[in-house]
Amino acid sequence: MTPMSMTKTQIYFPPAELRALHRLAKESGRAVADLVREAVRVTWLLPRQAAGRGPVAIWSGPFRGSAADHDAAFDEP
Tell whether the model's pLDDT for residue 44 goes beyond 90: no
Residue-wise pLDDT tens digits, 50-68: 665 655 566 666 666 666 6
Rounded percentage of the chain residues whose pLDDT exceeds 90: 47
pLDDT band for position 29 (cuts 50, 70, 90): very high
Domain boundaries, the chain: 12-52
DSSP 17-77: HHHHHHHHHHHHT--HHHHHHHHHIIIIIHHHHHTT-S-S----S---S-GGGGGGGGS--
Q: Which amino acid is at 18?
A: L
- Is pTM beyond 0.95? Reply is no
